[in-house]
Structure 1
Amino acid sequence: MKHVSCITPIDGRYARLTGVLSNIFSESGLIHHRVQVELKWLKFLITDLKVHEILPADQPLDLSKLDVLINDFNADDALRVKEIESRTNHDVKAVEYFIKDALDAAGLAPIREWVHFACTSEDINNTAYGLMLKKGKELVVELLKNFVAEIEKKALLYKHVPMMSRTHGQAATPTTPGKEFINFAWRLNQEIQVLENTKIQVKINGATGNYNAHVFAFPEIDWMAASERFIRDHLGLEPMLFTTQINPNTSLSRVLHAMVRAAAVMIDFDRDMWGYISLGYFKQRVKEGETGSSTMPHKVNPIDFENSEGNMGLAISMMEHLAVKLQKSRFQRDLSDSTVLRSLGTVFGYFTIGMKNALKGLSKVDLNHEVLERDLDDNPELLAEPFQTVMRVYGEDNPYERLKDLTRGRKIQKADLARFVDKLEKVPPEVKKRMRALSPRTYLGLAESLVDLYFKEKKS
């Protein structure tokens, strides 16, 4: 019950869905990633660049303790950093002082003043956020792939089942639920590819991006090459050389815009499922003990899809703001980005809630074949499209207008269509026979083939 006092639903009401994000995007997670970057940079200076006089010749030091400090970081350490910050009023400086104290305690005092060497706070912050973003991106890709896998299963299960489609909410040409599911799988796969191919770019180049302090202290070192090597080999990220003091957040924007599009696809899916459930095309499984309405006992509401839609909307609004805001800075630096970046975890939280609830909703629905069949049988006017198309082929006069007069805004019977076909003058008898045999259940075009094509292309 500790979550009832939380301000946001992300780590309150929905904490069970977002707990995996805590170690990445929480305040403790951010501090830990900063510690990781600082210590890896310190180790890089010693072991890779071998800057002179960093290690006393007569005092061999056990540098493996640096890795221990990274790996053993815990919640108490985060609280210690916050206590230091209460005095410094500077979050990154507090991390530096925390590390220096830890080095002293570990017998590494001779290298304590090399912590944060030639760095500006943004060198540590943007790389820490880069590591966090990379992990968050991987979780998003995993969520999307899991969802796609489930709708692929539905697509295969329902690829042969005829269903009346709806354009403008009105009866249109038949399709299959399988083909409609595969549309969403294909769209989400486009964004999965973008996310997987987006490398997270970071910089470690000093106060205004020119390596000023680095070069003045050690002019003999190729600092551009060194920073690229550190970022690639020790952080697993992509180096960015052309910056001001701050990272222009190009890759962050690219990730967020891909997530915006993915979230928009999910809202589209949620709304379609909501509509199909309302039409009775899908039945929701009832869970013992659940209540659908406080006053209407009969109701089973599509709450999971509604929840997903709402949270994806929140995610989109925030992602759009961050994606644009974080590419802007006055001159070489202002701090308006810093407070905004702290909401990065909130963005991933809303997105995660949306994905997991959509997946939950999908797991609780079954196709209602009876309703689908009844809808198709009750709407023989769906055949107006193929009939007027064939009439064009054989030169019948005014085919569209004649079918329009017969069907628009009217309910007709199969017998009405049969009489209409009998009166055609130019359509050959064998084609008329095909027209009489056609029904909404068999007028599916290449719906099934499109499902097969999707899986064929995915394998290739």
Structure 2
Amino acid sequence: MSLSPLTAVSPIDGRYHQATKELAAYFSEAALIKYRVFIEIEYFIALAESGISQLADLSNQGDLRAIYINFSEHDAQRVKDLEKVTNHDVKAVEYFIKEKFDALGIADLKEFIHFGLTSQDINNTAIPYSWKDALNTVYYPSVAELIGELAKMAEEWKAIPMLAKTHGQPASPTRLGKELAVFVERLQTQLDQLKTIPFSAKFGGATGNFNAHHVAYPASDWVTFGNRFVNEILGLKRSQKTTQIEHYDNFAAHCDGLKRINNIFIDLSRDIWAYISMDYFKQQIIAGQIGSSAMPHKVNPIDFENAEGNLGLANALFEHLSAKLPVSRLQRDLTDSTVLRNIGVPFAHTLIAFKSIMRGLKKLILNETALRADLEKNWAVVAEAIQTILRREGYPQPYEALKDLTRTNSIINQEAIATFIDGLAISEVLKEELKAITPWNYTGV
């Protein structure tokens, strides 16, 4: 069978292809090859600009950059065909570029392609570069859109009183908008932290010491060259002391940061799910859609359930990436290679979840009647307010008095509270102050 959304093994490229297809530009095999070609070409140009005499007459930088700018699926296939012969993916990229140099009439310069490098100098710059592109182009706009939607809802519902539930039990009332604002603050805080993590890259030859560079051109300052190439030309951050591979410590920090943000969205999804089950929210009914194959009346909160499942999958992979990648035997083993090819997978599950949450949020219809009914059934929650004011006034054992009221009476309603207040040995002015407290106005600041 040919590969299609119907025959793909992974739902990322199958069932959820429409939600994830934009990630192919960053995490597909063709994309990885293109990023490698980009690094190789920019490295060659940087070598030419560094003063190496053999490259002094190079004048066609535009033609060289066109190799990656115009990189096509046909080009990617040519690299894969070369790999069948070399059995080495980065060497195949080198040979592909050499063919392009032949076509450009600069065959005499092609031995400076990949000069002095090991494959990890290419991988450990191409992959963080693609990771950075994906975060900036796809992830940050997606999460910002979600935070913006939550902030809008928090503002719209900032005055809506709601019964809080601590330990699943009725607690001091809150406001719906504030509860959503909690998630806005948490997400924004973690997002700000995520954006401070550098995109670290390794670039220094076979074991990180520029051995080959130095033996060929001992008078050149290769550390300065490497720093300029990685930090200024590529816009990454070069790790100064490395083995053959990048430490991946900062990449692990990225994974942990993304996982924390996903955990917050899991928390949000479960809360919204609970509010829907409590009838605080209705969901828009979309014509033609079916909630249950057996029960016609059902409109299930599937968007939030889908999000929770995909966020869990993403986090399992982010956790493995952050735990595994910083660990390598001696100067390098190959266990990072196959793992790195999967960095787009948790990214994709995260994106699927984000789109599910946005879809779910836009379906929500506030049911103020249910919120008010819950508050009406729980007048006992004003007991905290009453006993606190009685403490202020020096009334003896107010907590105990309210505890006896709320735990012994089977019905605690407005009338029961008023009767209790009337029985207190306090002034009429204070009684009126206490009676003015309701589950709808006892919502704090």
TM-score by length of 1: 0.94
Q: Find 1:29's aligned residue among 17, 31, 35.
A: 31
Q: CA deviation at 1:234?
A: 1.4
Give 2:52's aligned amino acid: V
Deviation readout 1:105-140 (Å, 9 max, x if unpaired) = 122212111000111110000100011110122222
Give 2:109's aligned amino acid: I
Deviation readout 1:157-192 (Å, 9 max, x if unpaired) = 000111111111111111111001100000000121
Aligned match of 2:273: 274
Gaps of 5+ in 2: none
Answer whether contact 1:308 1:354 (CA < 8 A) is retained.
yes
Comparing 410-419 with 116-125, greater Cα deviation is found at 410-419
Partner Cα separation in structure 2 for residue 350 and residue 367 of structure 1 = 29
Deviation readout 1:41-100 (Å, 9 max, x if unpaired) = 0011012x1212235x6xx65232111101000111111111111111111111111111
Alignment root-mean-square deviation, CA: 1.3
Partner Cα separation in structure 2 for residue 62 and residue 163 of structure 1 = 68
Partner Cα separation in structure 1 for residue 106 and residue 360 of structure 2 = 54
Deviation readout 1:215-240 (Å, 9 max, x if unpaired) = 11111111111101011221111111
Gaps of 5+ in 1: 447-460
Give 1:53's aligned amino acid: Q
Aligned match of 1:67: 65
Aligned match of 1:13: 15
Residue 41 of structure 1 pairs with residue 43 of structure 2: yes
Aligned match of 2:110: 112
Deviation readout 1:408-456 (Å, 9 max, x if unpaired) = 384312111111111222x44322211101110011111xxxxxxxxxx
Partner Cα separation in structure 1 for residue 142 and residue 249 of structure 2 = 23
Partner Cα separation in structure 2 for residue 408 and residue 343 of structure 1 = 56
Aligned match of 2:420: 420
Give 2:27's aligned amino acid: F
Aligned match of 1:373: 372
Matches within 5 A, 1:8-407: 8-47=10-49, 49-55=50-56, 61-138=59-136, 139-407=138-406
Q: CA 1:50/1:385 → structure 2, altered by over 3 Å: closer, same or farther?
A: same
Specify the SS of the correspondent of 1:290: coil
Answer whether contact 1:159 1:179 (CA < 8 A) is retained.
yes
Specify the SS of the correspondent of 1:197: coil
Deviation readout 1:280-334 (Å, 9 max, x if unpaired) = 0011000000000000000000000000000000011100110111111100000
Partner Cα separation in structure 2 for residue 430 and residue 50 of structure 1 = 89
Partner Cα separation in structure 2 for residue 226 and residue 61 of structure 1 = 20
Deviation readout 1:252-282 (Å, 9 max, x if unpaired) = 1111111010000000000000000000001
Partner Cα separation in structure 2 for residue 292 and residue 180 of structure 1 = 28
- Aligned structure 1 segments of 4 or more residues deviating by more than 4 angstroms: none
Aligned match of 1:453: none
Answer whether contact 1:379 1:411 (CA < 8 A) is retained.
no
Q: CA deviation at 1:396?
A: 2.5
Give identity over the alignment, percent: 42
Give 1:361's aligned amino acid: G
Answer whether contact 1:133 1:252 (CA < 8 A) is retained.
no
Partner Cα separation in structure 1 for residue 84 and residue 168 of structure 2 = 59
Aligned match of 1:411: 411
Specify the SS of the correspondent of 1:164: strand
Partner Cα separation in structure 1 for residue 238 and residue 411 of structure 2 = 65
Specify the SS of the correspondent of 1:2: coil
Partner Cα separation in structure 1 for residue 220 and residue 206 of structure 2 = 18
Answer whether contact 2:117 2:204 (CA < 8 A) is retained.
yes
Partner Cα separation in structure 2 for residue 202 and residue 196 of structure 1 = 16
Answer whether contact 2:376 2:413 (CA < 8 A) is retained.
no
Specify the SS of the correspondent of 1:262: helix
Specify the SS of the correspondent of 1:408: helix
Partner Cα separation in structure 1 for residue 403 and residue 316 of structure 2 = 43
Deviation readout 1:379-421 (Å, 9 max, x if unpaired) = 1111011112122222323222221221138431211111111
TM-score by length of 2: 0.97
Answer whether contact 1:184 1:265 (CA < 8 A) is retained.
yes
Specify the SS of the correspondent of 2:365: strand
Answer whether contact 1:376 1:440 (CA < 8 A) is retained.
yes
Number of equivalences = 441
Give 1:52's aligned amino acid: S
Give 1:32's aligned amino acid: K
Specify the SS of the correspondent of 1:293: coil
Partner Cα separation in structure 2 for residue 115 and residue 228 of structure 1 = 19
Partner Cα separation in structure 1 for residue 172 and residue 256 of structure 2 = 34
Deviation readout 1:320-371 (Å, 9 max, x if unpaired) = 1101111111000000011111110001001111111111100110211111
Residue 2 of structure 1 pairs with residue 1 of structure 2: no
Q: CA 1:141/1:408 → structure 2, altered by over 3 Å: closer, same or farther?
A: farther
Q: CA 1:272/1:112 → structure 2, altered by over 3 Å: closer, same or farther?
A: same
Q: CA deviation at 1:374?
A: 1.1
Partner Cα separation in structure 2 for residue 196 and residue 61 of structure 1 = 38
Give 2:65's aligned amino acid: D
Answer whether contact 1:118 1:214 (CA < 8 A) is retained.
yes
Specify the SS of the correspondent of 1:3: coil
Partner Cα separation in structure 1 for residue 353 and residue 93 of structure 2 = 34
Q: CA 1:379/1:222 → structure 2, altered by over 3 Å: closer, same or farther?
A: same
Answer whether contact 1:61 1:108 (CA < 8 A) is retained.
no
